[in-house]
């Protein structure tokens, strides 16, 4: 995995303005927390109170139950006990408030029987206990623990005994009050000594203090052991309940942005012949709400954190990409994301003026790390242009237009007199994926400028046409069987031919007026060949699109850029193939991704292993993947709305429907979407015919 170099050698960063350090998504040292925003680190080593861990000893997160309602997190293992191992605990804004919460009843641990996510922010653990150890095999007491990301845990004991029970309950608590960056880097300290407070325990360090209060108050509190005790009476068939509240002193309860009345995401619902569509949309919306973060500079503006547990801060390219895929849920998230990033835009004179700062990103074994600042800068005008089509009010478009113009000006200056947008690293390759982003930004940016009465649209279109002509000739590798696009051209004009999922971005052209898609960089014959490649066995794993084909050098089914299935790229491939008319290949990838979603309880991780699907098999989790993650959750929205082919043009007062004619999931009904600022519902029949069932007054169906 690539390790970040010092900022002075990183052309994805800038020396023109201080920028908070951002990690490469391939790993590296964890960043310092940004004040007011939860910024969690890369997965590095975690210690236990008694034995420091080496970096390779960090417990993986793929089997954890992760409750998210930012800035709150709760990470648990399947037995429900918090034993202070690895990442276990309650967190707020990147600080671990509680690392141990160990329950014993009558001197014994409940037998774990089930652990499941009840929602994006709550996990439920069920255990059983026999009150008479020498009795029969049937349990007498059921123990249910409900743990929430907001720092609360409810413990309920239910008796099935035929006689009254008096049950002693002990809960051992502890914390190190460590930042997750310290836990990940192996520098967290030992548990702090506890002190007794009125109804619980309290711990302090030089920078913070935290309290756990209990309701009802314990009958006994032992500071030296960090223990609370109760004697609970359970009548036959009766129950008793305890509630623990973990709070950072001096702050109130966690108030997740996703639970606010100003939640920017519409409460969409899905139904139809395939029950998975309802579950996927519900889980996707819940995960997106859980990952919402307020901009400290302007709390009314919300954006999506990249993912939990490692990347709970702002990642510009991912935030823009996820906001774009969620436009069917309204434009409020888009405008909040654009405003937040506009405040970070570089405006000082120089070659980086107009860029949206971002970290480098590992690009696999064949390319040097890529620059997410370039991707974010090109996504900014695209998101603004498409948000306008979905119904972003004119006043907000005008407010954000100057920042979009600066992005497009940077694009023109970076290209200069050349044909391609170069890599920011001197002597770096010219990347296929970057040209796809740049081409789309130029065309949608020109459309936006023209619509707003601004100049320079003609120049952008002319350059996009020149780029397309050159790209079709110079980036296409002719070979027996039809050829393929090169992933990059090196400075000596040699091609890098390795087939990876990044070429799916060539199919993502973007939305123009009257429901038309922008033209792409490939001609019809090349697009047809690309569809065959993406739908072939080397790329289609049966669970989604591999990030590198199985026949390519360096293929690794767990390689996050060289073999693993990345959900975001698979969804883009599905949408692009459908738009280009290749429904057979799109349908195969769609069914694979839905099957994977079902295996993951419909909470898709950012990636999973690209092993070939077999009968009765299941996708293999990637131990370092974030779950939930913004782009994977947003991909669920993109997949389902793509089936209906919703293409709005709110300024023109029209919406065009281009449903998938083969209806791969049978009938599907989407309600609670938003187009032109109003609720929008659509039904797609088993014959692939779409019908609008609810829309803004005056919105006309385009042709």
Q: Averaged over 304-330, what is the pLDDT? A: 96
What pLDDT is attached to residue 431? 97
At 250, is the pLDDT very low, low, confident or very high (cuts 50, 70, 90)? confident
At 3, is the pLDDT very low, low, confident or very high (cuts 50, 70, 90)? very low
Is the pLDDT assigned to residue 258 strictly greater than 80?
Answer: no
| One-character DSSP codes across 571-637 | HHHHHHHHHHT-HHHHHHHHHHHHHHHHHTTT---SEE--PPP-TT--PPBPTT--SSBHHHHHHHH
- CA 72/CA 61 separation, integer angstroms: 17
Q: Averaged over 691-697, what is the pLDDT? A: 96
Q: To the nearest whole percent, how much of the chain has pLDDT over 70? A: 90
Print burial letters for 88-126: b (CB count within 10 Å at least 16), e (below 16).
bbbbbbbbbbbbbbbbbbbeeebebeebebebbbbbbbb
What pLDDT is attached to residue 12? 66
Residue owning tokens 């200069």:
416
Q: Averaged over 379-402, what is the pLDDT? A: 98
At 256, is the pLDDT very low, low, confident or very high (cuts 50, 70, 90)? confident
Which of 31-45, 145-159, 233-247, 623-637 is predicted with the least confidence, judged by mean pLDDT? Answer: 31-45
Give the dihedral of Cα atoms 11, 15, 17, 20; nearest 10 deg: 70
Q: Are 617 and 605 in contact (CB under 8 A)?
A: no
What pLDDT is attached to residue 254? 67
Is the pLDDT assigned to residue 10 strictly greater than 60?
Answer: no
What pLDDT is attached to residue 134? 66
Q: Are 480 and 462 in contact (CB under 8 A)?
A: no
Pair of tokens at residue 14: 């800038």
Is the pLDDT assigned to residue 31 strictly greater than 70?
Answer: no
Pair of tokens at residue 677: 């600022």
The answer to whether 65-255 and 258-630 have equal CATH topology is no
- 3-class secondary structure, 321: helix
At 49, is the pLDDT very low, low, confident or very high (cuts 50, 70, 90)? very low
Q: Express each pLDDT in 576-623 by its tens digit.
A: 999 999 999 999 999 999 999 999 999 999 999 999 999 999 999 999
What pLDDT is attached to residue 24? 37
65-255 has which CATH code?
Answer: 2.70.98.40
What pLDDT is attached to residue 184? 77
The total number of residues shown for the chain amounts to 703
Domain ranges across the chain: 65-255, 258-630
What pLDDT is attached to residue 136? 75
The per-residue pLDDT of the chain, averaged, comes to 90
Which of 37-46, 255-264, 402-411, 644-653 is predicted with the least confidence, judged by mean pLDDT? Answer: 37-46
Q: Averaged over 199-214, what is the pLDDT? A: 94
Highest mean pLDDT among 2-11, 79-88, 691-700: 691-700
Whether the ω angle into residue 486 lies within 30 degrees of 0, i.e. cis, is no
Q: Express each pLDDT in 109-135 by its tens digit.
A: 999 999 999 999 999 999 999 877 666
Neighbours of 427 (CB within 10 A): 9
Q: Averaged over 544-556, what is the pLDDT? A: 96
Question: What are the phi and psi torsion angles at 209 (to 5°)?
Answer: -145, 150
> What predicted TM-score, i.e. pTM, was given to this entire model?
0.91
Residue owning tokens 């509630």:
243
Q: Express each pLDDT in 477-490 by its tens digit.
A: 998 889 999 999 99
Q: Averaged over 156-185, what is the pLDDT? A: 91
Highest mean pLDDT among 23-37, 178-192, 437-451: 437-451
- CA 507/CA 337 separation, integer angstroms: 24
Q: Express each pLDDT in 66-82 by its tens digit.
A: 999 999 999 999 999 99
Topology of 258-630 in CATH? Glycosyltransferase (1.50.10)
What pLDDT is attached to residue 400? 98
What pLDDT is attached to residue 162? 87
What pLDDT is attached to residue 62? 87
Neighbours of 550 (CB within 10 A): 17
């Amino acid at each position: 995995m690539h390790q970040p170099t010092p900022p002075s050698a990183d052309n994805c960063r800038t020396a023109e303005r201080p920028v908070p350090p951002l990690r490469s998504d391939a790993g590296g040292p964890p960043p310092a927390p940004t004040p007011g925003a939860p910024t969690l680190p890369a997965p590095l080593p975690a210690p236990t109170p008694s034995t420091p861990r080496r970096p390779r000893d960090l417990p993986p997160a793929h089997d954890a139950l992760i409750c998210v309602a930012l800035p709150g997190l709760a990470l648990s293992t399947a037995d429900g006990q918090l034993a202070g191992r690895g990442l276990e605990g309650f967190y707020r804004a990147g600080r671990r408030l509680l690392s141990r919460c160990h329950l014993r009843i009558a001197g014994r641990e409940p037998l774990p029987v089930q652990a499941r996510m009840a929602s994006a922010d709550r996990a439920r653990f069920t255990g059983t206990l026999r009150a008479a150890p020498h009795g029969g095999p049937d349990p007498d007491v059921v123990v249910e623990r409900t743990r929430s990301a907001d720092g609360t845990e409810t413990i309920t004991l239910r008796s099935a005994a035929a006689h009254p029970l008096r049950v002693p309950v002990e809960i051992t608590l502890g914390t190190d009050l460590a930042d997750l960056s310290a836990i990940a880097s192996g520098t967290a300290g030992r548990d702090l000594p506890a002190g007794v407070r009125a109804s619980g325990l309290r711990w302090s360090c030089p920078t913070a203090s935290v309290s756990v209060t209990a309701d009802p108050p314990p009958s006994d509190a032992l500071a030296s052991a960090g223990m609370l005790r109760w004697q609970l009476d359970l009548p036959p068939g009766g129950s008793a309940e305890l509630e623990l509240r973990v709070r950072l002193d001096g702050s109130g309860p966690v108030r997740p942005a996703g639970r606010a009345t100003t939640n920017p995401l519409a409460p969409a619902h899905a139904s139809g012949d395939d029950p998975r569509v309802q579950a996927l949309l519900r889980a996707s919306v819940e995960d997106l709400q859980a990952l919402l973060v307020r901009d400290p500079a302007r709390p009314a503006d919300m954006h999506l954190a990249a993912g939990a547990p490692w990347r709970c801060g702002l990642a510009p390219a991912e935030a823009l990409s996820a906001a774009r895929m969620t436009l069917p849920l309204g434009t409020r998230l888009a405008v909040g994301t654009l405003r937040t990033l506009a405040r970070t835009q570089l405006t000082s004179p120089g070659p980086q003026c107009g860029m949206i700062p971002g970290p480098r990103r590992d690009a696999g074994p064949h390319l040097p790390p890529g620059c997410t600042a370039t991707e974010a800068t090109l996504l900014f005008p695209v998101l603004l242009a498409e948000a306008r089509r979905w119904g972003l009010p004119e006043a907000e478009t005008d407010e954000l237009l100057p920042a979009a113009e600066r992005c497009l000006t940077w694009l023109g200056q970076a290209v200069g007199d050349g044909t391609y947008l170069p890599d920011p690293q001197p002597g770096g390759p010219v990347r296929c994926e970057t040209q796809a982003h740049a081409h789309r930004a130029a065309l949608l940016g020109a459309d936006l400028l023209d619509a707003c009465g601004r100049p320079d649209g003609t120049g952008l279109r002319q350059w996009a046409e020149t780029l397309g002509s050159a790209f079709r000739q110079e980036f296409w590798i002719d070979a027996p069987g039809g050829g393929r696009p090169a992933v990059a051209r090196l400075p000596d004009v040699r091609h890098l031919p390795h087939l990876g999922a990044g070429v799916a971005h060539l199919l993502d052209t973007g939305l123009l007026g009257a429901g038309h898609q922008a033209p792409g960089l490939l001609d019809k014959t090349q697009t047809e060949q690309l569809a065959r490649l993406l739908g072939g066995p080397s790329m289609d794993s049966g669970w989604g699109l591999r990030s590198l084909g199985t026949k390519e050098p360096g293929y690794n089914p767990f390689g996050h850029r060289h073999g693993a299935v990345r959900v975001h790229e698979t969804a883009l491939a599905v949408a692009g193939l459908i738009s280009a008319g290749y429904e057979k290949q799109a349908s195969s990838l769609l069914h694979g991704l839905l099957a994977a979603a079902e295996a993951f309880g419909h909470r898709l991780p950012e990636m999973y292993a690209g092993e070939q699907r077999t009968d009765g098999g299941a996708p293999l989790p990637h131990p370092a993947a974030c779950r939930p993650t913004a782009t994977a959750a947003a991909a669920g929205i993109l997949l389902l709305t793509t089936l209906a082919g919703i293409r709005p043009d709110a300024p023109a007062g029209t919406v065009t429907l281009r449903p998938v004619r083969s209806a791969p999931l049978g009938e599907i009904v989407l309600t609670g979407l938003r187009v032109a600022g109003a609720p929008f519902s659509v039904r797609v029949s088993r014959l692939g015919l779409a019908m609008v069932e609810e829309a803004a007054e005056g919105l006309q169906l385009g042709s």
